[in-house]
Amino acid sequence: MNTPLKHSVSELNQLSFVSVNSGLAEDNNFSEVHDDLSVPLFLNRTLLAAIEQGASDIHFEPYADSFRIRFRLDGLMQEVSEMPKGFGHLLAARLKVIAGLDISEQRIAQGGRFKVILGEQNSNGFDFRCSVIPTMHGETIVLRLLYLPENLLQLSLLGLENTQISLIQKAIHRQQGMVLVTGPTGSGKTVSLYTLIKLINRQPRSIYTVEDPIEIDLNGINQISVSDRISFAEAARTILRQDPDVIMLGEMRDQTTLDTAIKAAHTGHLVLSTLHANTAPKAIPRLRNLGVDAYNIASTVTLIISQRLLRRIDPETREEITVPTARLLALGFEEDELKDLTLYRARPEGNHNGYKGRIGVFQVMAVTPELTDLIGKDASDKQISAHIEQQGVENLRRSALNKVKAGITDIDEVERVLGLLGSAELSTAIAPPANVIQQKDTAEAIQ
């Protein structure tokens, strides 16, 4: 959001909420607001702040003597408020009402959704997914902001190189096969899948998705949400009787789903899904571990995309830096790249940490006939990595370093997400930024 949100108390009171669970709209005209600590007003301000700052999640966390609210901004947690425990419980109850959940039940996990409408100009509103789970000192609630306009679902905006885009377009225009997107939780896999589905939807094809839950509502797509009444595997099996051309499975989560996906890819369908693997080559042994034999992998998988997200440095506040050669080499730069290399780093100013948004770094591995032969011979991920490197396929680290050279991100961010090559230990001349927070997942050095 580029426009600052400056709302008066009366405007904040006019926020309206729609519970997806109940289908009921609630208009918040609070005539008895006497101070800024009223529960509805405080919650409205918190939601507006999250929307304005581009938070992906809002965490409401109860503790023994306090209640904390944190935002996940650009993949990292940031505390925004701490309050008395009693007031926090009132906030939790208010959220459960808005999400259409049972406020009398505090011993089981619950989930719901609601929409925030910000005036007539925002008629579509902002969707929030609400997850509630009982913890030691009360109920912890996490809201996921599900707002991603369709005009942002473009391959060129994700951070892909032109050569990578060409490989992806070729794969998704095939009539059958399997395209996998790999990476850890929070690496942007879902957005990539939705982008691919949006591109495929321009063609006259029947498209079905199975998701848990549906995060973005796409027009013209038959989207199925997993629930207590329909499982992931059951939905995947049933889809095959619905005359689909394209099937998107949110995740390969069990043997039955995987078998169904392989069968679909063999019988004239294009299948898209995600897989937890650190790199594109490592997706092959991961599929073997899940019980898929070498023949089925080689004959169905057509493209594997591996990705991570790096924070963008704010071009208006960034500063030029000089970095020791040893550290640059440990990050993966080649010596011939260091001449005339200009580097920047994020510079914090006040409450601004120097970063603004995120961008993806990718490894795109097309399964060529030569690679098919290697997979059929049970080649290891190291052998596959060596082969595609000879073919000029960029790995995640090289993609990240290209973003550093372009001034889009900095070396601190690359080291945070991808680590250093091998076990290099450096005494760097530049201290890590004071604003760097412990990352969500432990960084693994990606070769």
DSSP for 262-275, written as a single string: HHHHHTT-EEEEEE
pLDDT band at residue 349 using 50, 70 and 90 as cut-offs: confident
pLDDT of residue 118: 77
Rounded mean pLDDT of 337-341?
Answer: 91
Nearest to 112 by CA among 43, 211, 22, 28: 22
Give 31's pLDDT tier (boundaries 50, 70, 90): very low
Beta strands in 327-366 (DSSP E): 343-345, 355-366
Residue 22 CA to residue 100 CA, distance in Å, equals 6
Query: Of 442, 439, 358, which is closest to residue 400 (Cα–Cα)?
Result: 358
Could you tell me which residues come within 8 angstroms of residue 23 by beta carbon, excluding any fewer than 6 positions away? none
pLDDT band at 397 (very low <50, low <70, confident <90, very high): very high
* Maximum Cα–Cα distance across the chain: 73
Chain-centroid distance, C-alpha 92: 25
pLDDT at 334: 94
Per-residue pLDDT at 123:
57
Tokens 């550290």 found at: 327
Interval 126-135: pLDDT, tens:
889 999 999 9
pLDDT at 437 over 80: no
Q: Tokens 């929307």 map to which residue? A: 51
Average pLDDT over residues 280-300: 95
User: Cα(279)–Cα(304) distance, rounded to whole angstroms?
Assistant: 9
Q: Is the per-residue pLDDT at 447 higher than 70? A: no
Supply 133's token pair: 């789970």
Phi-psi region of 141 (alpha: psi -120 to 50; beta: other; left: phi over 0): beta
- Cα separation, 60 vs 142, in Å, equals 6
Q: Domain coordinates of the chain in residue numbers?
A: 9-146, 151-418
pLDDT given at position 124 = 67
Rounded to an integer, the average pLDDT of 370-381 is 95
Q: Which candidate, 169, 145, 146, 171, places its Cα nearest to that of 156?
A: 169
User: pLDDT at residue 229 above 70?
Assistant: yes
Residue 233: its pLDDT value, please?
Answer: 84
Give the orientation angle of helix 396-405 with respect to helix 411-418, to 10 degrees: 170
Average pLDDT over residues 153-163: 92
Long-range pairs for 119-123: beta carbons < 8 A, 24 or more residues apart? 119/14
Per-chain mean pLDDT for the chain: 85
Q: Tell me the percentage of the chain whose pLDDT exceeds 70.
A: 84
Give per-residue pLDDT as tens, 412-423. 999 999 998 864
Q: How far apart are CA 218 and CA 360, in angstroms?
A: 22
pLDDT of amino acid 430: 40
**pLDDT value at residue 227:** 79
- Residue 156's H or E segment, with its range, is helix 155-158
Whether the Cβ atoms of residue 35 and residue 319 lie closer than 8 Å to each other: no
245-269: average pLDDT? 91
pLDDT of residue 428 exceeding 80, the answer is no
What's the start-to-end Cα distance of the chain, in Å? 36
pTM, whole model, 2 decimals? 0.82
Give the Cα separation of 160 and 253 in Å (integer).
27
Mind listing the pLDDT tens digit for each residue in 45-80? 999 999 999 999 999 999 999 999 999 999 999 999
Class of domain 151-418: alpha beta
* Mean pLDDT for the stretch of residues 372-378: 95
Tell me the one-letter amino acid at 197.
Answer: I
Which fold would CATH assign to domain 9-146?
Answer: Beta-Lactamase (3.30.450)
What is the CB neighbour count within 10 angstroms for residue 272? 26
Quote the distance between the C-alpha of residue 227 and its chain's center. Answer: 22
Q: Looking at residue 224, what is its pLDDT?
A: 94
Average pLDDT value for residue range 203-223: 89
* Residue 262 burial (CB count, 10 A): 22
Q: Indicate if the pLDDT at residue 425 is higher than 60.
A: no
Q: How far apart are the C-alpha atoms of 412 and 426, rounded to whole Å? A: 13
What tokens does 328 get? Answer: 């640059």
Q: Is the dihedral of CA 153, 154, 155, 160 positive or negative?
A: negative
Structure-block tokens of residue 6: 């400056």
